[in-house]
């Protein structure tokens, strides 16, 4: 009995030692096929210098995203060529949009990052979680950070900010999803239902299951070496967009989880219909005012954190703990997407899909908030003030005064 136990002990110690040696190697050197975020460019291999395929494969297995998901034999459908009901409600424009290049794009990006860093350092801007360190962030709050080890890219996705198409781009880059044995090459070929499947993406919150006690160390190494980006939009416009897509459409999940409680609490309906179809058929829908009441109600956060579709960006992406290399905006999506793909040196391989130009725009804010009491608007701004300031969106003064 003693010999097998001793053998298992030596085997475990050997495995731990191997992992430690790899981490030391990774921390000091890294692997040859990764991008370094400092210059936002891909390193070129030294001429004549070969790579050890066995070592590369071993490192990929340990530090990479694992085996891609093969969808062979599964029924897949391409996105519709014409707008669906959902896109009609959201106001999508499927016409192609060019991406004109501005000589000021580099300066614009530098200014966005400067504003973000300065805001994080500004003691007068206070918001929850601002002062905590990266180590203080629970693993479950790191589920929006998608990692592509093939190109050294980390993307923090923000719902209602073109995240479906950016997730598609990340799938193509990481080759994490297969169709009939081959990785997808065109982002728009990837069916929507697979895009939002959490098993498709390698995210930071999965590191603990893979690497245990070494997970935070590996996260920090990748945050240091990889190119990190996110896309944001005007916080109030994002709320309007979230309301339109989740409560103006027959969405059974959002009806049961959110609309029914809202109807009970704020619309004085003690027994709302059991299904979204019945509710819509009876003309019973959550109003935008009900939605704002829900966001402002202190009971909401006590029961559960905000849903990701209206959770603040600073809570999704931790911009004061993570030094993002690129801050894109939905308002300039076409040019920002083209610029980012060029900086990653993948623009020759793929294009960002046609921007589903959501017409939920800043010009709509006054109409949407016209029936919202001034006091509610002011409270709502305080709730999302950090996102306005961090990402350089002007304070909506016209909505916050009589």
pLDDT at site 10 = 58
Express as a percent the part of the chain with pLDDT over 70: 72
pLDDT at site 270 = 94
CA neighbor of 195 nearest in space, from 218, 165, 224, 155: 165
Dihedral sign of CA atoms 224, 142, 216, 16 in order = negative
List the structure tokens of 329: 């905006």
pLDDT at site 402 = 77
2 has pLDDT over 80: no
353 has pLDDT over 70: yes
| 153-156 and 227-232 beta bridge pairing | parallel
Q: d(Cα 294, Cα 342) in Å, to the nearest integer?
A: 42
pLDDT at site 104 = 77
* Contact between 146 and 167 (Cβ < 8 Å): yes
Instruction: State the Cα torsion 310-110-358-395 to the nearest 10°.
Output: 60
pLDDT at site 354 = 83
Q: What angle do CA 17, 21, 25 make, to 5 degrees?
A: 170
Contacts (Cβ under 8 Å, ≥6 apart) of 368: 240, 288
Q: Is 287 exposed, middle or buried (0-12, 13-18, 19+ CB in 10 A)?
A: middle
Q: d(Cα 124, Cα 336) in Å, to the nearest integer?
A: 30
Distances 354 to 91, 94, 174, 343, 347 between C-alpha atoms, Å: 14, 7, 21, 19, 14
Higher pLDDT, 101 or 51: 101
* Contact between 317 and 158 (Cβ < 8 Å): yes
Mean pLDDT of 253-267: 97
**Confidence at 100, pLDDT banded by 50, 70, 90:** very low
Backbone angles phi, psi at 70, to 5 degrees: -100, 125
Q: d(Cα 301, Cα 289) in Å, to the nearest integer?
A: 18
96 has pLDDT over 80: no
Mean pLDDT of 239-258: 97
**Confidence at 54, pLDDT banded by 50, 70, 90:** very low
**Confidence at 36, pLDDT banded by 50, 70, 90:** very low
The tens digit of pLDDT for each residue in 269-322 reads: 999 999 999 999 999 999 999 999 999 999 999 999 999 999 999 999 999 999
pTM of the model: 0.79
CA neighbor of 358 nearest in space, from 391, 329, 319: 329
Q: d(Cα 83, Cα 356) in Å, to the nearest integer?
A: 10
Kindly give the residue spans of alpha helices, DSSP state H, lying in 159-275. 163-174, 192-195, 207-211, 215-225, 235-247, 252-254, 260-266
Q: d(Cα 153, Cα 36) in Å, to the nearest integer?
A: 9
pLDDT at site 7 = 56
* Contact between 171 and 195 (Cβ < 8 Å): yes
Contacts (Cβ under 8 Å, ≥6 apart) of 86: 245, 249
pLDDT at site 263 = 98
Mean pLDDT of 22-37: 39
**Confidence at 109, pLDDT banded by 50, 70, 90:** very high
Residue 311 CA neighbour count, 13 Å, CB half: 17
Instruction: Compute how many other C-beta atoms are within 10 angstroms of the C-beta atom of residue 324.
Output: 21
Mean pLDDT of 331-342: 95
Instruction: Compute how many other C-beta atoms are within 10 angstroms of the C-beta atom of residue 242.
Output: 20
Mean pLDDT of 222-249: 97
Mean pLDDT of 180-208: 94
Least confident of 4-13, 170-179, 254-263, 372-381: 4-13
Distances 123 to 126, 131, 302 between C-alpha atoms, Å: 7, 10, 27
pLDDT at site 3 = 59
| 69-70 and 177-179 beta bridge pairing | parallel
Burial 333-345 (b: 16+ CB within 10 A, else e): bbbbbbbbbebbe
Residue count of the chain: 402
Burial 129-153 (b: 16+ CB within 10 A, else e): ebeeeeeebebebbbbbbbbbbbbb
Mean pLDDT rounded to a whole number for the chain: 82
pLDDT at site 363 = 72
| 227-232 and 326-329 beta bridge pairing | parallel
Higher pLDDT, 201 or 45: 201
């Amino acid at each position: 009995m003693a010999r097998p136990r001793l053998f298992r002990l030596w085997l475990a110690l050997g495995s731990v030692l191997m992992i430690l040696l790899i981490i030391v190697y990774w921390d000091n050197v890294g692997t040859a096929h990764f991008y370094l975020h400092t210059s936002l460019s891909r390193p070129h291999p030294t001429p004549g210098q070969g790579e050890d395929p066995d070592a590369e494969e071993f490192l990929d297995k340990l530090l990479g995203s694992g085996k891609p998901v093969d969808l062979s034999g599964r029924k897949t459908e391409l996105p519709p060529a014409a707008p669906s009901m959902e896109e009609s409600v959201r106001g999508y424009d499927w016409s192609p949009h060019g991406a004109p290049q501005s000589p000021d794009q580099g300066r614009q990006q530098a200014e966005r990052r400067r504003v973000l860093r300065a805001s994080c350092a500004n003691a007068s801007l206070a918001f929850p979680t601002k002062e905590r360190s990266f180590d203080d962030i629970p693993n479950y709050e790191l589920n929006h950070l998608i990692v592509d080890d093939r190109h050294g890219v980390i993307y923090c996705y923000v719902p209602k900010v073109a995240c479906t198409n950016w997730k598609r781009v990340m799938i193509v880059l990481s080759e994490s999803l297969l169709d009939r044995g081959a990785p997808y090459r065109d982002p728009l070929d990837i069916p929507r239902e697979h895009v939002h499947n959490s098993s498709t993406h390698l995210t930071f919150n999965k590191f603990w299951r893979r690497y245990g006690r070494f997970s935070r160390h590996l996260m920090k190494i990748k945050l240091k070496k990889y190119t990190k980006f996110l896309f944001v939009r005007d916080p109030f416009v994002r709320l309007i967009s979230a309301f339109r897509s989740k409560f103006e459409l027959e969405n059974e999940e959002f009806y049961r989880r959110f609309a029914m409680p809202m109807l009970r609490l704020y619309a004085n309906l003690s027994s709302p219909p059991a299904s979204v179809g019945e509710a819509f058929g009876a003309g019973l829908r959550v109003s935008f005012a009900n939605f704002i009441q829900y966001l402002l109600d202190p009971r909401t956060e006590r029961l559960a954190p905000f849903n990701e579709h209206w959770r603040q960006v600073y809570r999704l992406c931790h911009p004061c703990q993570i030094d993002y290399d690129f801050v894109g905006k939905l308002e300039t999506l076409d040019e920002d997407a083209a610029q980012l793909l060029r900086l990653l040196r993948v623009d020759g391989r793929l294009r960002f899909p046609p921007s589903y130009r959501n017409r939920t725009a800043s010009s709509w804010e006054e109409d949407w908030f016209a029936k919202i009491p001034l006091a509610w608007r002011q409270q709502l701004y305080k709730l999302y003030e950090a996102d306005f300031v961090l990402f350089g969106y002007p304070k909506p003064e016209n909505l916050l005064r009589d």
